């Protein structure tokens, strides 16, 4: 079996690293930028800084900001139209996963117009051409969209989210600047941080995991355990920068090996209720970890150790499995994240429909333990 790793051709890290954006655009010979971001960010904070860099370098740009928190098919299609109208030869996406995912969809369709319906990109789409050059500038420490070959789009008409997996969508350049994440509200920092932890844990225990992805996942778990509380509760600049790195490292792993049932169950919550993805993951993660424990060998011992649990080497399998799940749950509690699905508006009447959608989600087959639709329903009930 061949194990594949796909990563950015270039990435910059560290506080203040966003200063290279204009220089890189000019060095690569691009002339017109489509600046993609969330409407709420336009003219403030990180986007304002990138706009200033482009103006100072006299780089022409057009802004596209018609993006929802869970980006829709229409958002992507409107972005394609905006990109063509602007005559852009490069996309700069500034924001969280919603902005970068939308930018990936735009870039893919501009160069592969036969997928203009967007739905046909679901799963592993056999696109022929790399997307329009994309520079990804994350402002949240969670999704790792800047280093992944995945993006998630919401089909509002059918109340479902679908995952697109395509090496052609990976940004040519990622700029991971902790300064751009410093203005995140605490609630967003908590949610995106738990998203990163879910990526790391699911990437570590999924069926496709191997030595190199394990290395990324465990280091990410360790960094998150050491830094997320301080990043959220104390706005510590060092912790925020470490979280920026941790979520990128998690992306290096899971993008190349897959995820599992936590994400399969979280996606329908976003489609049904517009639930923030990180919150959905955080609520579901401990419950699904308990379900998966029998199929993970010694890995929960390593997760518990990376989460800061002492004495794991002396624990029985039952003890270290419980310790890993408890450490994840306690982190979520400390961050003030809701602990039950009912607390975020999930209705028992919807659980069967949610389960049916989760069962066919592209992430489900990567789970270390087979989960039937009825078992997924029981997991939703347990988390409700």
* DSSP strand pairing (32-37 vs 90-95): parallel
Distance CA 87, CA 93 (A): 16
Q: What are phi and psi of 63, to 5 degrees?
A: -95, 135
Count CB atoms within 10 A of the CB of residue 218. Answer: 21
Spell out the domains of the chain, with CATH numbers in brackets.
10-181 (3.40.50.1970), 186-383 (1.20.1090.10)
List C-alpha distances in Å: 127 to 102, 306, 353. Answer: 17, 38, 31
Count CB atoms within 10 A of the CB of residue 165. Answer: 18
Torsion of CA 69, 72, 75, 80, to 10 degrees: 130
Write down the H helix ranges in 335-372: 351-359
For 69, the token pair is 């928190």
Distance CA 190, CA 282 (A): 9
For 112, the token pair is 């592969």
pLDDT at 268: 96
pTM of the model: 0.95
Q: What are phi and psi of 294, to 5 degrees?
A: -65, -15
pLDDT at 331: 98
Please give the chain's pLDDT, 384 residues, in tens. 789 999 999 999 999 999 999 999 999 999 999 999 988 777 668 899 999 999 999 999 999 999 988 899 999 999 999 999 999 999 999 999 999 999 999 999 999 999 999 999 999 989 999 999 999 999 999 999 999 999 999 999 988 889 999 999 999 999 999 999 988 899 999 999 999 999 999 999 999 999 999 999 999 999 999 999 999 999 999 999 999 999 999 999 999 999 999 999 999 999 999 999 999 999 999 999 999 999 999 999 999 999 999 999 999 999 999 999 999 999 999 999 999 999 999 999 999 999 999 999 999 999 999 999 999 999 999 999
For 34, the token pair is 């489509």
DSSP string, 169-220: GS-SEEEE-GGGGTT--HHHHHHHHHHHHHHHHHHHHSTT--HHHHHHHHHH
The helix (run of H) or strand (run of E) holding residue 93 is strand 90-95
Overall residue count recorded for the chain in this entry: 384
In this structure, what DSSP letter does residue 133 have?
P
Q: What are phi and psi of 362, to 5 degrees?
A: -65, -20
């Amino acid at each position: 079996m061949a194990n594949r790793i796909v990563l950015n051709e270039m990435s910059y890290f560290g506080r203040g690293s966003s200063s290279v954006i204009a220089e890189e655009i000019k060095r690569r010979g691009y002339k017109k930028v489509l600046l993609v971001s969330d409407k709420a960010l336009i003219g403030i904070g990180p986007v304002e800084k990138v706009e200033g860099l482009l103006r100072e370098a006299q780089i022409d740009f057009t802004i596209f900001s018609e993006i929802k928190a869970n980006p829709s098919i229409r958002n992507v299609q409107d972005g394609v139209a905006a990109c063509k109208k602007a005559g852009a030869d490069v996309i700069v996406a500034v924001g969280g996963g919603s902005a970068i995912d939308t930018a990936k969809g735009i870039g893919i369709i501009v160069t592969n117009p036969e997928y203009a319906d967007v739905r046909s990109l679901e799963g592993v789409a056999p696109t022929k051409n790399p997307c329009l050059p994309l520079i990804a500038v994350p402002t949240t420490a969670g999704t790792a969209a800047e280093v992944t070959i995945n993006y998630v789009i919401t089909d509002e008409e059918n109340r479902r989210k679908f995952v697109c997996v395509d090496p052609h969508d990976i940004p040519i350049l990622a700029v991971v600047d902790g300064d751009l994440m410093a203005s995140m509200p605490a609630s967003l920092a908590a949610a995106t941080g738990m998203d990163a932890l879910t990526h790391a844990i699911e990437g570590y225990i999924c069926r496709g995991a191997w030595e190199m992805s394990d290395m990324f996942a465990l280091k990410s778990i360790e960094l998150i355990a050491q830094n997320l509380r301080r990043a959220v509760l104390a706005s510590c600049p060092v912790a925020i920068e470490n979280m920026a790195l941790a979520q990128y490292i998690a992306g290096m792993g899971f993008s190349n090996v897959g995820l599992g049932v936590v994400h399969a169950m979280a996606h329908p919550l976003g489609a049904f209720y517009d639930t923030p993805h990180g919150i959905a993951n955080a609520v579901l993660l401990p419950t699904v970890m308990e379900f998966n424990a029998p199929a993970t060998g010694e890995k929960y011992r390593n997760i518990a150790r990376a989460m800061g649990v002492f004495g794991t080497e002396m624990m029985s399998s039952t003890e270290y499995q419980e310790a890993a799940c408890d450490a994840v749950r306690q982190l979520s509690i400390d961050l003030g994240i809701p602990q039950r699905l009912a607390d975020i508006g999930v209705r028992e009447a919807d659980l069967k429909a949610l389960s049916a959608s989760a069962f066919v989600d592209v992430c489900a087959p990567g789970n270390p333990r087979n989960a039937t639709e009825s078992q997924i329903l029981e997991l939703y009930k347990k988390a409700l």
